[in-house]
Amino acid sequence: MLKIDNLTVKVLDKTILENFNLEINDGEIHVLMGPNGAGKSTISKVIMRDLNYEITKGSITYNDKDLLKMNTTEVAREKISLISQSPMEIEGVTNAEMLRTVLNDLNEMPANVLEFNRNLVKICQKLNIPESFIHRDINYNMSGGEKKKNELMHLFVLQPKLVILDEIDSGLDIDALNLVANSLKEYYEENHPSMLIITHQPKLLEILKPDYVHVLKNGKIVQSGDYNLALEIFKNGFGASIMSRNDLHE
């Protein structure tokens, strides 16, 4: 279980998140929505221990372990994965090399290398990406949509228990979006991970049917609800949804 308690985060002396709270139990799907610049990607990077972000207050625990004491590798060992909004290109390291190294580190590399290769081929076929991607440098010279699918390939191999998806749907064509959404649904049904989904689009949520939806504004969660809150936002925008909340509190 992920528990974020009263977290305040700064970058270059600017406060980006303030007293941010979020709890994600095992198997729950949470969605974080909010206007551009609200701090959504920041929270995903803070969980992965990106040291550009200074934590000035609060805590993050995962299964009662202090995430703030871990580095990015240790967070990955806890089986937490982020597909980031702008996946990094790594020239000189292939997907297969990286995945083999990580699985070895987790003691999860199949003893039989053929089995590892067969699994990668199967995943490429599922995601409709060329098998040649297996031996391409990580995200290097890939199109925006290809990078997202390439990162999803990593996810299917590494099988995280907490999956963070930061706008995985941006840059995907309509067929790719359907395929990615349905593949994620299949992953959820097989593995029951916890999920934190950041999105501005309805499609993924139509298919994944989240348990909770949160609206982040000015570094704080200002409203939480169920899937209907997302539907309301897609229809009326953030202004209306946040205003109706204020009305409720008057």
Residues that bind Mg ion (CB under 5 A): 40-41, 85
Where b means 16+ CB within 10 Å and e means fewer, 145-163 reads bbbbbbbbbbbbbbbbbbb
39 binds ligand ATP (CB under 6 A): yes
42 binds ligand ATP (CB under 6 A): yes
Instruction: Tell which one of 22, 29, 34, 47 touches ligand ATP (CB under 6 A).
Output: 34
Q: Does 160 bind ligand ATP (CB under 6 A)?
A: no
- Smallest separation, CB 85 to Mg ion (Å): 5
Q: What angle is formed at CA 43 by the lines to CA 42 and CA 44, rounded to 5 degrees?
A: 90
Query: Which residues does 57 contact at the CB level (< 8 Å), separation at least 6?
Result: 6, 7, 8, 19
Interaction partner, residue 112 (Mg ion, ligand ATP, none; CB < 5-8 Å by kind): none
Q: Which is nearer to ligand ATP, 36 or 107 (CB)?
A: 36
Q: Looking at beta carbons only, is 48 or 123 nearer to ligand ATP?
A: 48
Binding mask 44-83 for ligand ATP (x = CB under 6 A): --------x-------------------------------
Q: Does 237 bind ligand ATP (CB under 6 A)?
A: no
Alpha-carbon span 160 to 80, nearest angstrom: 5
| Kind and range of the H or E run holding 149 | helix 144-158
For ligand ATP, the closer of residues 42 and 81 by Cβ is 42
* 160: nearest Cα among 190, 126, 134, 136: 190
Q: To the nearest whole angstrom, how small is the minimum distance from the Cβ of residue 166 to Mg ion?
A: 6
- Applying CB under 6 A, among 22, 29, 30, 41 the residue interacting with ligand ATP is 41
Question: What are the structure tokens assigned to 82, written together?
Answer: 């982020």
**Residues 54, 59, 63, 69, Cα dihedral to 10°:** 50
Residues forming the site for ligand ATP (CB under 6 A): 11-12, 16, 34, 36-42, 52, 85
